Structures are given as C-alpha cells and as structure tokens.
Structure 1
Amino acid sequence: MKGIPWSSYSPKPDVAWIWKSICKLKNRFPLVFNASVWSTSSAGYYVSSGYDLIRIHYPLVPWYKYTWNAWSVPKHTFINWLIAREAMRLKDKLFQLGISQDAVCLVCGVDVETHIHLFHQCHYIKKILGMISVKLSIHFPSTAILPWIHSKPLSKIKKKVTIAWIQAAYYMVWIQRNKVLVDGALAHPNRVVHDIVSMMKIRCMFWLQNLMSSNDKEWIIMISS
C-alpha cells in the first residue's frame, strides 16, 4: 500500500481473504473511511457514529413510544412490535398464501382473523381488556387503546405501567390463539386475566423500586393486591 491512497487501493489476488473483505467494506461504505467526516469533531470517531452514517434513516413511526416500553416484559414488547407492524402470521395472510384452508379466527370462529380483529375487535380480547380496565381503574376506549393511553393526561409512571399490562394481554391472547391451533383448547378469559395479574404482580414489585410520587406508588400497590 505504500504510496497508494487508501480510497483508490485494491488488494492483490493472493492476499488473505479477511483483507479482501475489509477492502470490500471500504468500497461499499466510502464515507466511513473518509477521515474528514470526523476531523472537525472533538469527539473523533465512534462505532455508533459510523453506523449512524451508513444506516438508512427511516422516519419515526407514530407507535414507537408505546411499543418500546422498557417497563414491559421483553417478550411482550416484541409481540406488540409485531402487532403494530401487522407482521404476525395470522390466518388472513396464511389463507392468501394457500397455507390455511380458511381465514376464520381461531379464537371466536366467526370473523376473519386479522390483526385488527384478533387484538382489538374479537370478543375474547374485549373481555380480557375489560377486566384489566376495571383492575387498573382506567376506562379504555373500544379501539386504539395504546395511542389513547399515550395521549391521556396521566403520569409517566401510570402510562408505562398501563401499557405494560395491555402488552401482557396481547401476548396472552397470542398464546391462547396458538393453543387453539395446537391443542384445540381455549382458556376462559377469567383464567387468562388471573395469569396476567399473577405475572404483573412481580413486575409491580420491581416498579416500586423506582422513584415515583406517592399517588403512583399507592396506585401500583392497589393494582398488585
């Protein structure tokens, strides 16, 4: 490489494969190897700044604030993310692909199994969310619950906790839907809510370790009782 600028350098055929890979990366992301990008910055180069330069910057989606909730159980958050993106393999999609013989909801057996139906309109999720609404002393709307909670004049703690409970409900409905598919059995909504309450009691004890107002603390103690 002596006397050859890095930007125009090409490896010889007999060099190691790892060196060829590095050179391919250089050709793929030329801006990253341009020292002038960070020469004016006192911080210099960081991996995060390099990644931020080469990644595609998509616009922020409106549901990110109530999907990525650090107070929720991670697996619940992941399922909620798939629901928000309508990326679950429900029967409406499977039917279009020729994998399923029909598109009827596995839970209610009446309507077409879509994301909107299974997680918002089905009588099963409505009963579960209705009982959770009573438990949390918050009256939910019939549709778009998570955006509604995010827009309500509630404390940040109450918003995070409420969203965590709803994400748990969506996760449990997904589990029950799959149990119908595999075992042909569906748990009663009361049983599902009981499991959600038992699960979230543990989270409530964890949440109480955070700094919060006395009102929020009393509310969390109340919903965990």
Structure 2
Amino acid sequence: MNSSWVWGRICKSKYEMVAGYTNGKWNVQPDGHTPAGSYEWFRGSKPKVSWYKVVWNGWVIPKNQFMGWLIAHAALNTTSKLVGFGVDIENKCCICALAEETTEHLFCERAYSKRVVREVNKMTSWNYPECGVLNWCMERTGTMLQKGIQNAMMLSLIYQIWHQRNKYRNEKTLLCPERVAKHIIEEMRARVRGRDKMQMNLVDLEWLKKMNLFE
C-alpha cells in the first residue's frame, strides 16, 4: 500500500498509544481520557525553560519570536558558528572587522549595536543595557503589559540588528542607528494601536505615554 508519510505516521502513533491502555482503560488519566492529556503523555514531560515568557508572549511579533528562540538555543548562524561547522569563510564581524562575529559581539559589544540601543533608550525613556540580551528581560519588574512590551522591544531590537548585519553583508548598505531605533519604536506603536485601550489600566496607559508608545 503506497500511503503518504503523514498517514503512515498517524497509523504508527495509534499503535504506540496502545501502551497507555490496560483492560480497555486509559492508565495515565484515571478520571477520563482527553486529547490534551494523551498528547502530554505521548510527548513526555519537559521542564519549562527560563526564557519562554520572554520569547512566547503576545506582544512579540512572530518573526522576532523566532529570533529570540534562535538566541535562546545558541542557534544563530554567526560566522564564528559557521566556521566551527567547517565552512571556509572569514569569521570577523562584517561591519566593524574588530572581533569574531559571535552572538555576544553582535548584540552586546559592537559599537553599532550599542548606538542603536542608546537611540531606543533616548526616544522611549527605556533603560535597556548596552550589554545584555535575554537575561535582562527575565529580571524585569512591572505589570504584565509593561514586561511584555519590554520583551517585545528587546526582541525587535535583536531582529533589526541581525537584519542590518545581513543587509550590510549582502548589499554593503547600513541604516544609521537613529533610523533603526525609529523602526523599532514604530513597530511597537503599531502593536499598541492594535490592542483595546479600554482593557488597559491607568498605570499602564501612563507608562505607555512615558515610553512614547501611546499616541
């Protein structure tokens, strides 16, 4: 029988699920069977990672979430990482050429990235440090909205710096830090505009105005 891979995998999963039953009863959930419970049992329990609330929150744009996921897994294909895989390329930073292109150099050490951070801080009254990425956001205080927006801004900043790196590498063009910062802020303003202001409390609204994100 020439069935598709998907159908074959479904059939295989059916037989694997048999291990969860004895005498016609679902052993894992004594009070009754649910699809969610079956999935959790089949997948196995996994501990929550410390960065999940930073990356997977509703204020973050999906493309920026993917960048955060890559950073958290140390999976960003910097030139240093590619050289480690055996790729024959120059591993110096393509913009400053002063150091190896590592994640730390890209987002914490390079002068261009620091200038972008300074501009965002200046335009929004934010206090994101020049030398910090995911760990800083995990230590934030404030309401859920405030922490969510700060996480989203941080991941937007990371995405835009990586985007500028790729643009310079391929086209030898680079936006000035001020324009990159403005793009990040406009991206966050658009996210705020898309939310129902009636569901925001006065503390959050005042904070948004202070951050120059509420029009």
The match for 1:28 among 2, 5, 16 is 16
Task: For 2:155 and 2:201, locate their aligned partners in 1 and report how far apart those are by CA, in whole Å.
Answer: 24
Shift of 1:182: 1.5
Q: Which residue of 2 aligns with 1:37?
A: 27
Shift of 1:149: 3.5
> What letter matches 2:205 in structure 1?
K
Higher relative contact order (CA 8 A, sep 6+): 2
1:136 aligns with 2:124: yes
1:101 aligns with 2:125: no
Cα deviation code 1:26-79 (max 9, x no counterpart) = 4434333442325621xx222211110011333222111212121111111111
1:197 aligns with 2:185: yes
Map of 1:58-207 to 2, 5 A cutoff?
58-207=46-195
Shift of 1:111: 1.1
CA 1:16–1:46 in 2, change beyond 3 Å: closer, same or farther? farther
Larger Rg: 1
CA 1:67–1:16 in 2, change beyond 3 Å: closer, same or farther? closer
Task: For 1:221 and 1:88, locate their aligned partners in 2 and report how far apart those are by CA, in whole Å.
Answer: 34
> What letter matches 2:59 in structure 1?
W
Q: Which residue of 1 aligns with 2:199?
A: 211
CA 1:39–1:169 in 2, change beyond 3 Å: closer, same or farther? closer
Q: TM-score, normalised by structure 1?
A: 0.80
CA 1:175–1:17 in 2, change beyond 3 Å: closer, same or farther? closer
Q: Which moved more, 1:150-159 or 1:70-79?
A: 150-159
> What letter matches 1:37 in structure 2?
N
CA 1:208–1:37 in 2, change beyond 3 Å: closer, same or farther? same
CA 1:212–1:22 in 2, change beyond 3 Å: closer, same or farther? closer
Q: TM-score, normalised by structure 2?
A: 0.84
Provide the aligned length of Structure 1 versus Structure 2: 209
**Contact residue 29 and residue 37 of structure 2 kept, 8 A:** no
**Contact residue 69 and residue 160 of structure 1 kept, 8 A:** yes
- Say what the alpha-carbon RMSD is for the aligned residues: 2.6
CA 1:153–1:195 in 2, change beyond 3 Å: closer, same or farther? closer
CA 1:39–1:197 in 2, change beyond 3 Å: closer, same or farther? closer
Gaps of 5+ in 1: 1-14
Q: Which moved more, 1:45-54 or 1:215-224?
A: 215-224
